[in-house]
Amino acid sequence: MASSARPSSGPASQVRLLAFVALLSALVLTSLGTGASSLTQAASAADTDSQPRYEVWQRAEAPYDENRSNPLANRVWGVYQGPQDQLWRRYQKVSPARQARLDTIALRPRTKWYGSFVADRSIRSTVRSYIASSQAGDPDKLVQIAVFRMEPWEHAACKKRTTAKQKKSYKRWIVQLAAGIGATPTLVVMQPDGPFLWCAPDRRKKAKLLAWATKRLSALPRTSVYIDAGAADWCENDKGADPERCAGILKQTGIAHARGFALDSTHYTGPSENIRHGARIVQILKRDGYGTKHFIIDTAKSGRPTPWSQMIPSRKGGAKDDARVCRSRTMTRCVALGIPPTVRVADERYGLSADDRVLAKQLVDGFVWFGRPWLYMQADPFVLKRGLALADNTPWPGPKRD
């Protein structure tokens, strides 16, 4: 469980804090489009010779000296290959040629989302089955789960309150989920689309439930919880991305108990923007007595970083959750696969600035694929044509097999 103790007020601590604040103050906020340009240039220069021989699903990656406590480091990340994954079900049925194209997605570790679509009585056994497949006999492999269980949520949460029956079911479900996870090394993304908390008429009730769930799961011996805090362009619906508001979500939903927070679960902003935004949230939380928290960033959708306001839907008049897929490596305002999952977030091949790399080494536990751009509306079902286009046009090469 992450400590919620206030930071030391000693001279050394003050010097470190002042240096950290100075670094953040020195960063000039660039437009979201600028981040897209730098990453595109870096990715265009990447080829198979410049990529690591092994990825995190093949060999464990060491933490940075600046973040030795990183719970995602020093272990292989498991890859689930079974019927619970919408992509894998279709992958098994397509031709070998198409399988080879989809390997870019299918062979890499991805976060499995669970919600009320798995019954209270079934979540324990369902998760255990998922863990067994993901670990493939290695009990030290990392497993990834997104808890999307709050009801109602998203736009429905702005109009409806959580009933007493739903509250009881939620708690029962979380207890069974925790029992299913047990001592498994697990990364948990808590309640994607966190900014919807602000619009809920029963915000305090929902926040209390989320904080309870965060505490319950964080108490597991090898589970690290990251609470969803929106994205670099989203902290509250229609009100921008003030990091104070993103931090406000976290304070209400149990950040005192969590390892940290998660950014960009459903938006399309890039790692550079999210590193800077996340660092500001960390600074706010530390200022307010929560210690130094860490965060993860989704990079499944950031091969062509695009602000939500500029993203073009796949159909005229459609939803931005169903963003159009990049059909070439020069197309913009579209979604493309981004940096592969990794703990080595400050590698120069990713095109981050020197300042961003400094922050990433200190604060970012990993680039994680907890977004799902290969699914319709980022939810369900898997769309083969979409998956193939994502795999074919990503600026980052596919994984190398052993």
The string of pLDDT tens digits covering residues 61-75 is 999 999 999 999 999
CATH number at residue 64: 3.20.20.40
pLDDT above 60 for 270: yes
pLDDT at 33: 45
Count Cβ atoms within 10 A of the Cβ of residue 400 and give its class: 0-12 exposed, 13-18 middle, 19 or more buried. middle
pLDDT, average across residues 171-175? 99
In contact, 142 and 187? CB cutoff 8 Å: yes
Report residue 400's pLDDT band, with 50, 70 and 90 as the boundaries: confident
In a domain, 14, yes or no: no
> Looking at the predicted structure, is the pLDDT value of residue 268 above 90?
yes
Q: Is residue 15 part of a domain?
A: no
> Is 154 a residue whose pLDDT tops 50?
yes
First to last CA, the chain: 36
> Residue 272 to residues 25, 156, 263, 350, 362: CA-CA distances in angstroms?
16, 32, 12, 10, 14
When mean pLDDT is compared across 26-30, 193-197, 265-269, 286-290, the lowest value belongs to: 26-30
Domain count of the fold of the chain: 1
Residue 354 lies in a domain: yes
* pLDDT over 90 at 108, yes or no: yes
In a domain, 96, yes or no: yes
Q: In which band, very low, low, confident or very high, does the pLDDT at 402 lie, cut at 50, 70 and 90?
A: low
One-letter amino acid of 184 = T
C-alpha dihedral, 320 to 324 to 328 to 333, nearest 10°: -30
**For range 181-200, the mean pLDDT:** 99
Residue 360 lies in a domain: yes
Above 90 in pLDDT, residue 135?
yes
Residue 401 lies in a domain: no
Q: Is residue 281 part of a domain?
A: yes
Domain range for 113 is: 30-393
Q: Tell me, what's the pLDDT at 87? A: 97
> Residue 15 — very low, low, confident or very high, per pLDDT cuts 50/70/90?
very low
In a domain, 54, yes or no: yes
Structure confidence at residue 53 as a pLDDT band (50, 70, 90): confident
Contact 395, 329 (CB under 8 A): yes
pLDDT in tens, 311-369: 999 999 999 999 999 999 899 999 999 999 999 999 999 999 999 999 999 999 999 99
